[in-house]
């Protein structure tokens, strides 16, 4: 018996059409032009989400494989050797592909006495959080999966869930070295999230937005900011503004140091220090589950590098972006600029890893709490004064 003769037809009609006439992101807009108009909006949304996930997964996989190859080459040249040279021919370009095939074929083992649920769930949770952060990244003008107003807040919040996955991996492995690594990760992330977040406040005050989309558009001088920004042909980057150098350069340096600790990169790689903890929290993992942790690490490096790019180095902007009309060429060059800038940040992280020695865990904690946090607070205070007086002078 139909207890809701009025409400149910209304719900049926609501499900047949989009609530506001536009389903809302490049994936669904692309599918909307291909599929018949009779396709309901909810199915279009689900298909768009699937397409966006496939695109992000493909992008992350390629970035991670390239980063693994690049790290081997960077490490080799810093240590006066060549790195991979054989697999695939030119400079061993196919070495990462061979490693992926090897991991696919490896036996998937779980230690005796381990918590099987936590052990198997941990790498999936870690990788899922890394993939989720990509939805807020503006790859080009108008090319973002989800234009989140609190974009950087969303990225920091979701990436913090990685710590839960690491603790699950350490505890579920039934290995004391894994537990030690997981506890180090929890302590390290808890201490460096504070200066990381504080270091982002000066550019957020400057742009007046948490959105990476808004920050990139303002520095590129496009859209609503075409008349008020975009000096130097799309090079109006925050870090290049001479009136903000007092806070922009120090805040970026604090951000970069905290970023290394957040992504477990040397000299802050205490959670997986091989000289002390075998391999830390992922000691007992093999095969594809082991590869999930590596995918997450390089994906997190790229995402956090892009956060720095969007707030300090212009996002997807490049010299001459303001001279181009919206179209395929602008989109292609913006994606290229966006990717190259992100990979340059990843390269600097690799450079630091193979240059500086690992520091002790007590030094890691002291640096975060005693030095970076007070300095970041002072920069936020100075940045607030600068933006206040800039507002007053501008009238």
- Do the Cβ atoms of 195 and 379 come closer than 8 Å? no
140 strand-pairing partners = 143
Per-residue confidence (pLDDT) for residue 223, from 0 to 100: 55
Domain boundaries, the chain: 111-394
Per-residue confidence (pLDDT) for residue 32, from 0 to 100: 79
Per-residue confidence (pLDDT) for residue 280, from 0 to 100: 76
pLDDT digits (tens, 9 = 90+) for 14-49: 444 554 444 457 778 778 778 887 788 888 888 888
Per-residue confidence (pLDDT) for residue 210, from 0 to 100: 95
Per-residue confidence (pLDDT) for residue 340, from 0 to 100: 96
Indicate the DSSP class of residue 19. Answer: S
- For 232-245, b/e burial (b = at least 16 CB within 10 A) is eebbbbbbbeeebe
Per-residue confidence (pLDDT) for residue 232, from 0 to 100: 58
- For 51-90, b/e burial (b = at least 16 CB within 10 A) is bbbeebeebbeebbbebbbbbbbbebeeeeeebbeeeeee
Per-residue confidence (pLDDT) for residue 307, from 0 to 100: 96
Q: What is the pTM of this model?
A: 0.89
- Do the Cβ atoms of 261 and 160 come closer than 8 Å? no
Biggest alpha carbon–alpha carbon distance for the chain: 79
Per-residue confidence (pLDDT) for residue 20, from 0 to 100: 46
Closest CA to 330 of 221, 227, 203: 221
Per-residue confidence (pLDDT) for residue 226, from 0 to 100: 53
- Cα distances from 64 to residues 99, 126, 222, 296, 297, in angstroms, run 12, 15, 31, 8, 8
pLDDT digits (tens, 9 = 90+) for 282-316: 888 888 888 898 889 999 999 999 999 999 999 99
- CA–CA separation, 137 and 312 (whole Å): 15
Per-residue confidence (pLDDT) for residue 222, from 0 to 100: 66
- Do the Cβ atoms of 223 and 217 come closer than 8 Å? yes
- CB-based contacts of 351, cutoff 8 Å, min separation 6: 74, 78
- CA–CA separation, 52 and 50 (whole Å): 5
Q: Please, what are the averages of pLDDT over each run of 10 residues along the chain (395 residues)?
A: 39 45 66 80 84 91 93 93 90 92 87 87 92 93 88 93 90 86 86 95 94 90 55 75 92 96 86 67 86 90 96 90 84 94 96 90 91 96 94 81
Per-residue confidence (pLDDT) for residue 233, from 0 to 100: 61
């Amino acid at each position: 018996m139909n207890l809701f003769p009025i409400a149910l037809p209304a719900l049926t009609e609501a499900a047949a059409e989009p609530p506001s006439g536009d389903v809302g992101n490049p994936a669904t807009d692309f599918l909307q032009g291909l599929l018949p108009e009779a396709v309901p909006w909810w199915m279009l949304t689900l298909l768009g989400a699937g397409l966006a996930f496939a695109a992000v997964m493909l992008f992350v996989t390629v970035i991670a494989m390239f980063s693994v190859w690049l790290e081997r080459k960077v490490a080799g040249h810093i240590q006066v050797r060549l790195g991979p040279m054989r697999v695939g021919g030119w400079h061993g370009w196919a070495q990462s592909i061979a490693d992926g095939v090897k991991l696919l074929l490896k036996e998937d083992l779980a230690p005796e006495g381990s918590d099987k649920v936590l052990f198997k769930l941990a790498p999936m949770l870690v990788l899922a959080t890394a993939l989720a952060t990509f939805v807020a990244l503006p790859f080009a003008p108008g090319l973002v999966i989800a234009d989140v107003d609190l974009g950087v807040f969303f990225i920091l919040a979701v990436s913090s869930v990685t710590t839960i996955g690491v603790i699950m991996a350490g505890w579920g492995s039934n290995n004391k070295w894994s537990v030690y690594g997981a506890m180090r990760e929890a302590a390290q992330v808890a201490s460096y999230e504070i200066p990381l977040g504080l270091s982002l406040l000066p550019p957020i005050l400057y742009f007046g937005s948490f959105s990476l989309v808004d920050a990139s558009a303002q520095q590129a001088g496009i859209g609503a900011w075409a008349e008020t920004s975009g000096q130097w042909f799309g090079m109006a980057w925050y870090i290049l503004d001479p009136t903000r150098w007092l806070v922009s350069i120090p805040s970026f340096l604090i951000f970069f140091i905290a970023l290394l600790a957040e992504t477990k990169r040397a000299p802050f790689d205490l959670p997986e220090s091989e000289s002390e903890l075998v391999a830390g929290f992922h000691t007992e993992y093999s095969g594809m589950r082991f590869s999930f942790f590596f995918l997450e690490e390089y994906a997190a490096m790229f995402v956090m590098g892009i956060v720095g790019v969007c707030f300090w180095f212009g996002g997807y902007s490049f010299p001459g972006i303001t001279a181009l009309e919206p179209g395929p060429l602008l989109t292609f060059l913006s994606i290229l600029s966006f990717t190259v800038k992100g990979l340059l940040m990843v390269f600097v992280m690799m450079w630091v890893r193979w240059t500086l020695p690992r520091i002790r865990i007590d030094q890691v904690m002291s640096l975060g709490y005693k030095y970076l946090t007070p300095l970041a607070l002072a920069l936020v205070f100075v940045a607030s004064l600068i933006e206040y007086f800039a507002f007053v002078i501008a009238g």
